[in-house]
Amino acid sequence: MFGIEFVPDEPVYKIGYMAKLAEDSGFSNVWITDHYNNRDVWTTLAALSMMTNKISLGTGVTNPYTRNAAIIASSIASINELSGGRAILGIGPGDKATFDKMGIDWDKPLTRVRESVLAIRAFLAREQVSQAGFKGAQMAFSAGRIPIYIGAQGPKMLELAGAIADGVLINASHPEDFKFAVPVIRQGAEKAGRKPESVQISAYASFSADKDPAKAVAASKIVVAFIVAGSPENVLERHGIGMDQARTISDAIARYDFKAAMEGVTTRMTEAFSVSGAPADCRARVDELLGTGVTQIVVGSPIGPNKENAIKLIGKQVIAK
């Protein structure tokens, strides 16, 4: 199964147009990112509910810090109603860098995600919620069953997702990352008495496809630069990337010197942190990812040097294969 990620950094109607194109090209899910400085994720999903017909619509991902869990439940239930049952809730601990700018304290993210997911599920089942600080709160309308996916990277968050979520969204593009993550998720499920295969595992990958593989790789470089700069040491080590190389890139990004940041991106880095190339190259990587236990490939930024062409190309030559 294929999903696609859109960052709402363009007008909502443009995102709606591309989501419809994705639906017509064979994608099953669309995931909209949530950062305060882009278009609002809920407004975008409401527009997409009206502009598409069958594609599932998810937050990819929202968080319990910028919004209260009861409000998240009400919002996703409204999207589910508006879209005829197509909503999926993606929720994660959120992005520390944006929280710092917003003056939000990233207090106990693991605990916060666990408590929020359980509370949201109870709200969606129209139970009276008296946990996680709520005092007998209850939804006034019913919205049906909505799958909840957790955005996770760290081992504890992955294990938690295995224990309580319907699915996991993992920001990674290389099979080695999934050889690490999949057993951790499965262990979390087993410990919680669940069937490991009941948890959907999504590779939320940086993807770039073009007929010209060099153009595809070039388009992925800026995204890969940000991923390298934000990756923990153990992940860089897993891919044979030195901390000094990563520091050169993060220093360039801190100076807003994106040209220098991209120049620091090596072939090893684009291979580790993106699925990029001609459609046949991308399909080969997709097959490797599916072989690790991944059940959904999410085609994430940049998608390709030309987004619309890339969506059509991926539909015809990656998904249809």
Where on the chain is the footprint of ligand F42 (CB under 6 A)?
33-35, 60-61, 63, 92-95, 108-111, 151-157, 169-171, 204
Nearer to ligand F42 among residue 93 and residue 279 (C-beta): 93
Q: How far is CA 87 from CA 73, 77, 147, 187, 290, in A?
A: 11, 8, 8, 27, 24
Nearer to ligand F42, 38 or 266 (CB): 38
End-to-end CA distance of the chain: 12
Is the CB of 31 or the CB of 139 nearer to ligand F42? 31
Cβ pair 106, 94 in contact under 8 A:
yes
Least distance from C-beta 297 to ligand F42, angstroms? 13
Least CB distance to ligand F42 at residue 63 (A): 6
Instruction: Give 68: exposed, middle or buried? Use CB within 10 Å, 0-12, 13-18, 19+.
Output: middle
CB of 64 to ligand F42, least distance (A): 10
Whether the Cβ atoms of residue 128 and residue 136 lie closer than 8 Å to each other: yes
What's the min distance (Å) between Cβ of 92 and ligand F42? 3
Nearer to ligand F42, 152 or 165 (CB): 152
Q: Between residues 285 and 313, which has the closer beta carbon with respect to ligand F42?
A: 285
| Cβ neighbours around 149 below 10 Å, total | 29
HSE-CB of 272 using CA atoms within 13 angstroms: 19
Query: Which residue lies nearer to ligand F42 by CB, 170 or 241?
Result: 170
Report DSSP letters for 207-271, one per residue: EEE-SSHHHHHHHHHHHHHHHHHH--HHHHHHTT--HHHHHHHHHHHHTT-HHHHHHT--HHHHH
CB of 46 to ligand F42, least distance (A): 17
Could you say which DSSP state residue 2 is in?
A: E
Ranked by CB distance to ligand F42, the top (closest) residue is 154
| Closer by beta carbon to ligand F42, 49 or else 59 | 59
d(CA 161, CA 62): 15
3-class secondary structure per residue, 262-277? HHCCCHHHHHHHCEEE
Query: Which two structure tokens, joined as six digits, stand for 183?
Result: 């057993």
* C-alpha distances out from residue 212 to 59, 277, 321, Å: 32, 7, 19
Minimum CB–partner distance for residue 206 and ligand F42 (Å): 11
Pairwise CA distance, residues 215 & 317, whole Å: 17
Q: How far is the CB of 60 from ligand F42 (least distance, A)?
A: 5
The least distance separating ligand F42 from the CB of residue 30, rounded to whole angstroms, comes to: 13
Closest approach, Cβ 236 to ligand F42, in A, equals 14
Nearest CB to ligand F42, comparing residues 294 and 313:
294
DSSP annotation string for 135-181: -SB--SS------EEEE--SHHHHHHHHHH-SEEEE---SHHHHHHH
Measured from the CB atom, the residue of 253 and 278 that comes closer to ligand F42 is 253
